[in-house]
Amino acid sequence: MTIADFPRYTFLHEPTLLQPLRRTGKALGHPSLYVKRDDLMPIAVGGNKLRSLEFWVGAAMQEKADVLLVAGAPVSNQCRLTAAAASIAGLDCHIYHNAEDGLEARRASYLSRLFGASLHFLGPLDEHQRGIEVENAAAEFRRAGRRPYIIGNAAIGGLGYVRAAEELLVQSRASGADIRHVFLPGSMGPTEAGFIFGNALLGHPFQVHLASVEYGQAEFSARVQRIYEAIAELAGPDAPEFNDAVIHYHMDFLGDGYARPSPESEAAIIAFARTEGILLEHTYTGKTFACFLDLVRRRVIPADEPACIIHTGGVPSLFTQFGLFREVPLMPGS
């Protein structure tokens, strides 16, 4: 099968912007730095999960689903974008948050409610328990005669960034950028594995750099390979085998752990806001952009090899992160 054979509900009708980072490049002595603005999609402030949702919603529509179920933290980009996607596709949406119902959680999830989703607060469950609750909810919907589809299949979601790899290569060649290095946040895996699979289909034009924001290297690399192989199984016997020769794992920017700020991520957030007018957040993009800056500054990325970082979105979560900044005062004079 080719990627065109999989059902897709189109939310993105044109490529996202490939933007030169001129001031950053001048400051670092690198003339060819770029950012691919997946944070500037036309729906719900954008973000990487919208590419996955094209295939998740496509699969849901093929199954004649009438309600989408999705789970995550109140600040989850996947939940917010699923709510928006459901509103466009004419589907109901139920979101299951593993958090207590309270003012802070309601503020963080407000946009999902604005898009029309029904929110359920399950209390502080772990990811496994949360998944069981969603499966139970799906069973209840079926008993009531509904047709639920649970958002989150990693292989199907990864197809979005298989397409993104080809999209970036076309942009790179058309603009004369000749991009050699591509940076992504390293987290749950569908975005990363999808891009790596797409890169393999294209003959490995990119060196792929993954800055871990959540896992240690052994767990993270195993997760990426597992999802890659699941995508390959979907694609069929002619799919390229997993080859990690073009994958570079960067583990030095995780700081104290997932969703915990670091001095490097804060410095990157401030730097890109004040030189490029680009907003980042602490959990995913701040740490990844910090890795990008460090490797360019230290010439791990040579000045004659063009590099691109994919901005995977998540900007709305920045507005819940006031208290995480150390160097940006909340009030004048504070």
* Tens-digit pLDDT profile for residues 195-221: 999 999 999 999 999 999 999 999 999
Residues 51 and 306: beta-carbon distance below 8 Å: no
The letter for the amino acid at 231 is I
pLDDT recorded at residue 235: 93
Q: Return d(Cα 180, Cα 119) in angstroms, integer.
A: 43
Full-model pTM? 0.95
Task: Please identify which residue in the block is written with the tokens 């998540």.
Answer: 314
Inform me whether the pLDDT recorded for 334 exceeds 50.
no
Q: What is the pLDDT of residue 326?
A: 81
Q: Name all domains of the chain by residue range, CATH numbers in brackets.
A: 3-47+154-324 (3.40.50.1100), 66-146 (3.40.50.1100)
Return the half-sphere exposure (C-beta side, CA atoms, 13 A cut-off) of residue 57.
25
User: What does DSSP assign to residue 209?
Assistant: E
Average confidence (pLDDT) over 319-332: 72
Q: Which residues contact 22 (CB under 8 A, 6 or more apart)?
A: none
Q: What is the pLDDT of residues 242-281, one digit of tens each?
A: 998 899 999 999 999 888 889 999 999 999 999 999 999 9
Dihedral (Cα; 77, 81, 83, 84), 10-degree rounding: 150
pLDDT classification of 313: cutoffs 50, 70, 90: very high
Q: What pLDDT is stored for residue 332 in this prediction?
A: 54
In the predicted structure, residue 330 carries a pLDDT above the cut 60: no
